Amino acid sequence: MLKKTLPLVIFSFLSFHHSHAQLFSKKKNKSKSEVSDTKPKPDKNGIKKYSDVIKEGSKTDDGLFKVHLVGDDHYYEIPFKMLEKEMLWVSRISQLPNNLGGGYVNAGSKSNEQVVEWQRYKNKILLRVKSYSNIADSSKAISKSVKVNNFEPILFAFEIKAFSPDSTAAVIQVDPLFTTDVVAISGMSSWLRKRYKVKKLDQSRSFINSIKSFPENVEVKQDLTYDASEPPSFAATGTISLQMNQSMILLPENPMTPRLNDPRVGFFTVSQIDYGSPELKADEKQYIRRWRMEPKDAEAYARGELVEPIKPIVYYLDPGTPENLRKYIKQGIEDWQKPFETAGFKNAIIAKDAPTPEEDPEFSPEDIRYSVVRYVASTTRNAVGPSVSDPRSGEIIESDIIWYHNHLRSYRNRYLLETGAANPSARTLDTPEEEMGEMMRMVIAHEVGHALGFPHNMAASYAYPVDSLRNGEFTQKNGIAASIMDYARYNYVAQPGDENIRFVRQMGPYDHYAVNWGYRWLPNVTDPTQEKGVLDTWVLEKGNDPKFRYGKQSNRFDPQSQTECIGDDTIKASTYGISNLKYVLPNLPSWTSDKTNNYDDLDELYGELIGVYNRYVGHVARNIGGVFETIKTPSQKGSVYAPISAKEQQESMVWLQKNVFDTPKWLIDTSVLQNIDHSSYFENLRRVQSRQLNQLMGIETLGRLINTETLDGEQYGAYQMLSDLRKGIWKEAYQNKSVDLYRRNLQNTYLERLTELLLDEHSASYNVETSDVKALAYGELKALQSTLKRAKNGNINAMTKYHYENTIAKIDSALDE
């Protein structure tokens, strides 16, 4: 088989939409088949003899389609039996200029995925984009309405150049598709075009690099060059060049039987609107995204034996992966073997080195047949786990894990800051390789989890009691959260002297539960509704155990679903965490600058320590106005939403006043700051305090407090919270004391925020103008004004007196508007 090399094309991510009327039909519409199989007669209207187009000496690659290279021209020979077959088209960037997209776009990034069909219309071949957003059974009359109201776009139209010698295929020239600016398969998204002021694609510098045809897919690499006024690199050229990879793979003739989503178990999903549903509405159906996992030996599987899947999930390591990291990446991939064993499969997921060119000259990381852990030479600190799925069923076809080179530095820094007090081996810039490898292994396992269909589960870190995280035996067995899919990276609760502690996250019981729920094979299921009862039973069995609870990352009001948080008591956990930071900060110079003889790492780590502290106090601030969300069905006891108790909210306010708003002067460590910062100590603290004020005085927080107080008069209400906040932040005015610089900054920030509530605040959730929010802001300003008028005449210093008079003037101005 002859092969060629092609440049890649990036796609902007498209949602899958499909109005095809027959979602799971196993047979094509008869009339369509008859049209497709009709052998056309040669036509004189521009259609030539085969030999006049595909000339002697042409290079041919046979596979899904025959691909011909005739001189510099590229042709597809599309069999009529392949017309109207659904194919998944995936666009990825293969090569790109430095810093495109600010570091978050890289080689391997997917720009678009879409379902397409090749169709014939007269003497043209059409490439049409298909959609599965809206569907209806083809046997129902409404399917006709669905079809005409969801007319699918033609991506490109090709003139038929010739027919194959046996008249079973049409020959088209595909160069125009890959050398013009087709937005749907372009790596240059609209925001990139705007950011870099892209003018146009220069066709004279754009060309097909290679086309390869395989039995079930065709891979195209294309080089695209754009004129741009402000390119991300090589600015003097006014040019952005990309290499794109276009993958087109034949979707299964018989889609995998989908599994209906249950919001109590976390899965990524595909959605469809079924207009043929017996419900009295267009019925939205959500199917989980998962790999097809079927046992080789169904009888042994039914007996409860571990059985290998017919097709295991295989990840290849990027050939550019550093040698010393490969074993940790493989371990992170294969850590999911144990959860799959819970679902009855052995060797379900396997890690392999990429074949060498000698072993397989056709191997390419961009080939959609292969899932790859891509190692990206980039200063970005991140890792991601995207995947590509069949929109008809949710079947995951392929995924690429992307690891950015500098990401380990983030983990080293966090390891030092969050565990250094209790963990002597973290007190260095040269973290032992095995410990860094363990961290990388867990990050890879987390990203593979995404690629298996699992979103973040932010409730998993709330499953364990805080003090159990100080117990060596417990942490070694259970880790620090119930799932690897939470953002619970390190054990920041453990204190100096605690022994045998596990500090790094690991796989947890929820991961086994979720894999079993999503991947366990149930025989004789041909319709997803047939297994709904069994799946519901599995959820109910675990319904009251917090280890198996799912919490959405998008939740902004639930204290049990927070990022970077561990333990079931945020006040206690954050108290432990801050205690550890107080140990770490004064030791930072001896762990960093004293060893390196420069202050770069000290500067970086101090900035990150402020960020860690900010997260700890933010975890407590979420309690105020907090509402627990426990996703349930009506058959389960208890409510879905339950506000946090008034007692815990009041305790949280007291804690915040003590640990945030009373100036945390321990952060002003002169042995650190006098070597990294010439003047902005006070501003660093003001930003931390401002963030927490914005949370507490946020319009959504106030709205929840008003709502829960309305439902239950014993709850901690907005009036009480704002009163407590004012009395704590302005306590000097009540105590006849002078106010220092840090507290004046805080008080000015408070006043600014309160004035915004009165004059400028809006909400997407409710009408602020008709709510109590502005009345509360007005009342608080009046109360503060009255207090300061008395306090300015007290026994205070001149700066405090000026500060109070200035505040009174600002309040007068705000109240007059």
Q: Which pLDDT value is given to residue 290?
A: 97
Rg, the chain, Cα only: 31
CB 226 within 8 A of CB 381: no
Measured torsion, CA atoms of residues 437, 443, 445, 446, in degrees rounded to the nearest 10: 170
The pair of structure tokens assigned to 70 is: 């005739």
Question: What residue spans define the domains of the chain?
Answer: 30-37+45-252, 298-591, 666-816
Q: Which pLDDT value is given to residue 96?
A: 85
Query: Amino acid identity of 524?
Result: N
Q: Which pLDDT value is given to residue 160?
A: 97
Measured torsion, CA atoms of residues 181, 186, 188, 193, in degrees rounded to the nearest 10: 40
Query: Amino acid identity of 319?
Result: P
- Beta-strand pair 73-79/87-95: unpaired
Residue 667's nearest CA partner among 725, 590, 584 is: 584
Q: Which residues of the chain have pLDDT under 50?
A: 1-38
Would you call 159 helix, strand, or coil by DSSP?
Answer: strand
Query: Amino acid identity of 469?
Result: L
Q: Which pLDDT value is given to residue 204?
A: 94
Query: Amino acid identity of 26?
Result: K
Q: Which pLDDT value is given to residue 18?
A: 37
Q: Which pLDDT value is given to residue 384?
A: 72
Indicate the burial class of 172 (C-beta count within 10 angstroms; 0-12, 13-18, 19 or more).
buried
Contacts of 709 (CB under 8 A, 6+ apart): 715, 716, 717, 718
